[in-house]
C-alpha cells in the first residue's frame, strides 16, 4: 500500500525498456558477425523479452496500487504527474 514506492516502479520501467532495446541491438550485431551464435542468441532474446514483460506487469500492478491508495488512475499520465499524485494527500 505504498503509493510512493509504486510510482518509483512505474518510473523505473523506462530503464528496463531501454536496457531491453540495447540488449536487442547488441544481440543482433553479435548474431550478424557470428552466425553460429544465432540459436543461442534467439533463446537469449526470448528470455530478455520475458524479463521485459515482467517489468510491464510490475508497472501495471504499481499503477493499480496508486489507484487503490490514492483513488487516482495513473495509467495514462506522465511519470512526473504520477509521482506528484502518489505524494499528494
CA distance 84 to 67: 13
**Domain count along the chain:** 1
HEC per residue, the chain: CCHHHHHHHHHHHHHHHHHHHHHHHHHHHHHHHCHHHHHHHHHHHHHHHHHHHHHHHHHHHHHHHHHHHHCCCCCCCCHHHHHHHHHCC
Q: Which residue has the higher pLDDT, 69 or 49?
A: 49
Bigger pLDDT: 51 vs 10: 51
Quick one: cell of 23? Answer: 540488449
Query: Domain holding 39: CATH number?
Result: 1.20.58.220
Taking residues 45-62, what's their average pLDDT?
Answer: 95
pLDDT beyond 80 at 51? yes
What is the domain extent for residue 15?
Answer: 3-87
Amino acid at each position: 500500500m505504498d503509493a510512493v514506492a509504486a510510482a518509483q516502479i512505474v518510473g523505473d520501467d523506462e530503464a528496463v525498456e531501454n536496457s531491453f532495446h540495447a540488449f536487442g541491438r547488441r544481440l543482433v550485431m553479435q548474431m550478424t558477425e557470428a552466425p553460429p551464435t544465432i540459436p543461442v542468441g534467439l533463446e537469449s532474446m526470448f528470455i530478455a523479452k520475458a524479463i521485459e514483460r515482467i517489468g510491464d506487469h510490475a508497472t501495471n500492478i504499481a499503477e493499480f496500487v496508486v489507484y487503490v491508495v490514492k483513488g487516482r488512475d495513473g495509467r495514462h499520465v506522465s511519470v512526473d504527474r504520477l509521482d506528484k499524485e502518489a505524494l499528494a494527500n
